[in-house]
Amino acid sequence: MISLNDFSTVKKYLDRIGAEPRSIRKAVVREEIGKYWLDVCIINFSKTGDVTVSDERFIPTEIELQVIKEELSSVKWPEAVFIKDLNDANLPAMVKGAVPEDIFAFRDVNNNITMLQVRKERKGERSYIPVTLFDDGEYRFCEPDGSLPLFGLENLKNNTTVFVHEGAKAARHAQEIANGSVSHPWSQELAHACHVGFCGGALSPERTDWKILKKHGVTRVIIVPDNDLVGLSAVPKISRQLDCVTMMIQFTDDWPKSADLYDPFPEKLFRKIGDLKYYIGPSFQQCLHPATYMTHLIPIPDSKKMLPVLRHHAVGQWLYVEESELFVNVENPEIIRKADSLDAMLRPFSDTKKTSELILKSFTGRVTNLAYDPRSNGRKVMIDGNTAINLYQPSDIKPQSGDPQPWLDFVSNLVPDEDEKKNVLKWTATLIAKPERHIQFALLMISEQTGTGKSAFARILARCVGMHNTSFPSEKQILDTFTGWIARKRLVVINEVYSGSNWKMANAIKSYITDEDIALRMMFKEAITIKNFAHFVANSNSPAAIKIDEKDRRWYIPTITEERWSDEKFNEFFQWLESGGYSIIIDWANRYGEYFNHGSKAPMTERKKDMIADSRSKEQNEAVGLANLMNESEEPISIGYRDIKIWLELMCNRALYDSDVEIKRSMRDAGVFFSKGRVSLDGRMQALCMNAAMTEKIIGKGADEGLTIAKSYRKMPSEVNDEGNM
């Protein structure tokens, strides 16, 4: 056996400074900080016996240097070699006795095993013991010389995106998620990438060989630190070692301290329906943050000073917007900062306090404004003749072929009427597959029974268009002055709509549903005009959810089932959704083929007719009933408007509070006509209300002649009502 402790002079020196061997010619003085340890000093011994230290406090004395060199200069040092396989009979007993889950084989990109780690746990404390094979045939419990290898490199292959995890165990688990072997709320985002782990400890990530990633064509790295201060502190250290665009996942306080992707997500981030849970917590995108190291230092000629300059991959990562004087992150355009704020944010990832100035110097083209334009997939777009940054990001969920029948069964149960179901599916497919179109009518889903699937339907749409493209404002927020809830959104979900007996909600939301441009009012900011790409889904358990008039074309109101699906069916459906169903729904929408055109109006439904009637006053409904009876007659009929008002008061047994405009509008919407001129009836000048047969009879006549003819066909409202009800 050859170990630094085998040499008496070396051992005495190491004992004096409190160091321990780490590899065959390397020792370390380390300090434990909680569950982590920090390398205070690294001591390297050359093959000829020379000693170098990373901290001058631990330099050997002249005598120690002399005797160490004498003892080591003649040693024939073994070299680390590949481990053939895990079935080698010569493996140490500790490895043979370990369960497979506790053995981690570090392989290179060609699948050669360079080192093993064995996980040991004693009294609740974990340790990872390195095992390396040397060319003298000996296995030693130490690391190979040089930089530490990354775990998981055999999965690199042609991947240009790599996730970096803290430790081999987290990397192994993440790769299982990426391969589809393990279910996870972020499985889709973790797929199609290589997952590696560094084992040098979060406080000393510089010990790892990071250059291997660039050598094999990696262009994007996402660091996944543990959810604690030490784990987070490793991010800029790792980023500095990389030479590519870098992002990081930052867990929030919703997760426990020190959590990583290996740990089960907290129960509060799931909603339970029956026996099945589905994830409702922060999305992967919401936890993704920029972590690119922005600068490197170059020497200034004839000076000892160093000059910070942007790294090549940092150029273009932040774009400057002239009119608003803001910087936008290209990878995640929801991150927008002013110069001072950006400098503070990038300080851990830069060698200068004024990174924003370096960004401004690195010209990447002019950008004058911000935009949100789902019609374009580009980041730079032309809006009103000016180049703008497009903040729109499509859904993180990618389409995937599969059988959409569970989705179709769900909608069939939710919307029993066949024609109405087709319109709901058509609306949904247009929303998902045609982001460039603005459907100018909204869905209103009403059922008095709770748990029918209305909210689930809305949330499915939100997942398919992207949670970052969706807002969930309350009715109070919509009626408020400020409209931040609609900014940069393609879908607006309003739960529990109930306006009762007033028109506020209906009137407030009209322009948001149909207008191409809307005023965006944010607190403490001036109002600006923005393009409107928002689509609305509103849910309610009240039959009187909203007041609607006869001419409304903004709301599509299908009849929603009052029968709940069984818990078993909901469980099966949600399990299907979480195992790829969302991707299948997006693929279904892309292939649907029949879509609403830009500006399409809402088709009429029986439920909507009922709501229109419920939205009228009693007098208006009586007036509409009279108009319908008039039009059912093939005989010409005219009625004086004052006669109608008197008749309405008698029918309703109260004074008429509706205005003439409201009564006439209700009757016109039902298909009758009012004369522009008035005639004398019973000594009073009145407008005439005429049915279709009457207007046909006076077509082509002069105004006076037409009124005279119409007057001759005059009837009283009671006559028409009696005849219509015979």
The CATH code of the domain that includes 274 is 3.40.1360
432 and 542 assigned to the same domain: yes
Q: How confident is the model at residue 236, as a pLDDT?
A: 96
Tell whether 527 and 492 lie within a shared domain: yes
Q: Could you give the CA distance from residue 219 to residue 11 in angstroms, rounded to a whole number?
A: 44
* Identity of the amino acid at 110: N
Residue 722 exposed, middle or buried by CB count within 10 Å (0-12, 13-18, 19+): exposed
The domain tally of the chain equals: 6
Query: Which of 490, 486, 495 has its CA nearest to residue 466?
Result: 490
Q: Partners of 383 in the beta sheet?
A: 386
What token pair was written down for 223?
Answer: 């660091």
633 in the same domain as 599: no
Nearest-Å Rg of the Cα atoms of the chain is 37
Rounded to the nearest 10 degrees, what angle do helices 717-724 and 641-652 cross at? 60
Does residue 400 belong to any structural domain of this protein?
A: no
pLDDT at residue 726, as a whole number: 42
CA 292 to chain centre: 21
Chosen domain end from 577, 609, 641: 609
Mapped onto helix, strand or coil, the DSSP state of residue 217 is: coil
**What is the Cα–Cα distance from 591 to 429, expressed in whole angstroms?**
9
Residue 355 shares a structural domain with residue 278? no
Single-letter residue type at 6: D
Question: Do 235 and 241 form a contact (C-beta atoms < 8 A)?
Answer: no
Residue numbers of the chain with a pLDDT score lower than 70 = 1, 123-124, 272-277, 498-507, 521-528, 544-545, 723-726
What is the per-residue pLDDT for 33? 76
Whether residue 397 is contained in a domain is answered as: no
Residue 131: how many other CB atoms lie within 10 Å: 22
CA atoms of 375 and 372, how far apart (whole Å) = 9
Q: Does residue 134 lie in a domain region?
A: yes
Same domain as 179, residue 98: no
φ, ψ (nearest 5 deg) of residue 117: -125, 140
Looking at the structure, tell me whether residues 335 and 474 fall in a common domain.
Answer: no
Give domain status of residue 478, yes or no: yes
Domain that holds residue 251: 153-290
Q: Torsions phi, psi of 299, nearest 5?
A: -70, 140
Asked if the structure places residue 396 within a domain, the reply is no
Task: Determine the distance from the C-alpha atom of residue 125 to the mean position of all C-alpha atoms in its chain, rounded to a whole number.
Answer: 37
Q: Which amino acid is at 274?
A: G
First to last CA, the chain: 113
On the CB side of 318, how many CA atoms lie within 13 Å of its CA? 31
Q: Is residue 369 part of a domain?
A: yes
> For residues 330 and 321, what is the distance between their CA atoms, to the nearest angstrom?
12
Decide if 45 is inside a domain: yes
Q: Based on the domain organization, do 434 and 558 belong to the same domain?
A: yes
- E runs forming strands in 217-301: 220-224, 245-249, 270-273, 276-279, 288-290, 295-299
Please list the residues that pair with 140 across neighbouring strands.
132
Calpha distance 507→512 (Å, rounded): 10
Q: What DSSP element (H or E) covers 380?
A: strand 380-383
Task: Check whether residue 433 and residue 511 sit in a common domain.
Answer: yes
What are the tokens at 468?
A: 């970052």
One domain for residues 53 and 92: no
Whether 180 and 268 share a structural domain: yes
Residues 517, 591 within the same domain: yes
Q: What angle, rounded to 10 degrees, do the helices at 454-465 and 418-433 form?
A: 30
Cα separation, 404 vs 422, in Å, equals: 15
The phi, psi pair for 311, rounded to 5°, reads -70, 155
Report the candidate in 241, 224, 214 with the shortest Cα–Cα distance to residue 171: 224
Which of 290, 319, 351 is the last residue in one of the domains?
Answer: 290
Question: What is the pTM (predicted TM-score) of this model?
Answer: 0.72
pLDDT of amino acid 523: 52
* CA 445 vs CA 276, 301, 472, 541, 573: distances in Å: 25, 71, 15, 9, 20
Say whether both 157 and 129 belong to one domain.
no
Q: Which of 275, 290, 305 is the last residue of a domain?
A: 290
Q: What does DSSP assign to residue 597?
A: P
Half-sphere exposure of 125 (CA within 13 A, CB side): 6
Amino acid at 148: L
Cβ–Cβ < 8 Å for 490, 469 = yes
Q: Are 580 and 404 in contact (CB under 8 A)?
A: no
Task: Tell me whether residue 19 is in a domain.
Answer: yes
Return the bridge partners of 674, or none. Answer: 689
